[in-house]
Amino acid sequence: MNELIRLPKYLASSGVASRRVAETLIVAGRVKVNGIPVREPGRKIDPRCDRVEVDNIPVETASEKKYYLLFKPRGYLTTVRDPFGRPTVMDLFPEGVKTGLFPVGRLDMDTEGLLLLTNDGEMAFRLTHPRFQIEKKYLAMVKGVPSEGDLLQFHKGILLEEGLTSPAKVKVVLPGKRKTLLLITIREGKKRQVKRMCLAIGHPVISLKRVSFAFLNLNGLHPSAYRALTREEIRKLSVLVGLKV
């Protein structure tokens, strides 16, 4: 049987990084196979006999998979390490728990809400891949009072630098005179997407909170708190992204 797998997939399944990040590590020359740097993300290896190192540290084959749901507070970066020493979401996990974890997608520093973290690179890759269209809901407090016409644009698609957004849903949760609370549902994950969509219709975001990701929500958690996903939740997520369970 052919046991060869592509290097980024191997690194992801070993919990080193998501597949996308693994590809950048490879291109940057930080990955060695049998002591020799490899810069082609298409390279295949045999995990039974090839020795893989990242930054000269041997990659261990997948340890136990971990999945956490965090209520990210404002003021924390969604990254594993910040070269400027700013607070990161990893600071919210104790030493023993955070080993190998990385965030699934990202929330801006000033956005709060639901963030998944895992050491399962394949799951993270799929959950953030546009193909799987995972639904995300955001509560956005925006400046002013959007008209019916403004809100219709969410359904039709809003023109951003990269092109038109896919149809999104929007509901007014709390109307006001100077600001309006909107519930926005998107199935994409472009950078700063919600803020840019709101800005494009002339109603900039004042504050933003992600309240759900797929079928998961923040129930029972306060800002900075986290919990492990249940087996059933992991199974349901796997099914959503076409992974065997």
123, 141, 142, 194: which one contacts ligand URA (CB under 6 A)? 194
7, 12, 92, 107: which one contacts ligand URA (CB under 6 A)? 107
Of the listed pieces 34-42, 51-59, 80-88, 104-112, which binds ligand URA according to CB under 6 A?
A: 104-112
**20 scored as a contact of ligand URA (CB under 6 A):** no
53, 82, 108, 233: which one contacts ligand URA (CB under 6 A)? 108
CA distance 50 to 111: 42
Cβ proximity to ligand URA: between 11 and 141 the closer is 141
126, 195, 203, 209: which one contacts ligand URA (CB under 6 A)? 195
**50 scored as a contact of ligand URA (CB under 6 A):** no
CA distance 159 to 63: 43
> What is the total residue count of the chain?
245
CA distance 166 to 157: 5
CB of 194 to ligand URA, least distance (A): 3
CA distance 97 to 225: 13
- Residues 160 and 110 sit within 8 Å (Cβ to Cβ): no
**Could you give the maximum distance between any two Cα atoms of the chain, in Å?**
67
Other C-beta atoms closer than 10 Å to the C-beta of 49 total 8
CB of 111 to ligand URA, least distance (A): 3
Cβ proximity to ligand URA: between 191 and 235 the closer is 191
Query: At a CB cut-off of 8 Å and minimum separation 6, what does 145 contact?
Result: 175, 176, 177, 178, 180
192, 199, 204, 223: which one contacts ligand URA (CB under 6 A)? 192
- Which residue bears the tokens 């992974």? 243
Q: Which entry of 108, 110, 120, 150 is annotated as an active-site residue? A: 108
Here the tokens at position 194 are 């919600």
Here the tokens at position 162 are 């990269």
Kindly list the catalytic residues: 108
| Binding stretches for ligand URA (CB under 6 A) | 107-108, 111, 192-195, 208
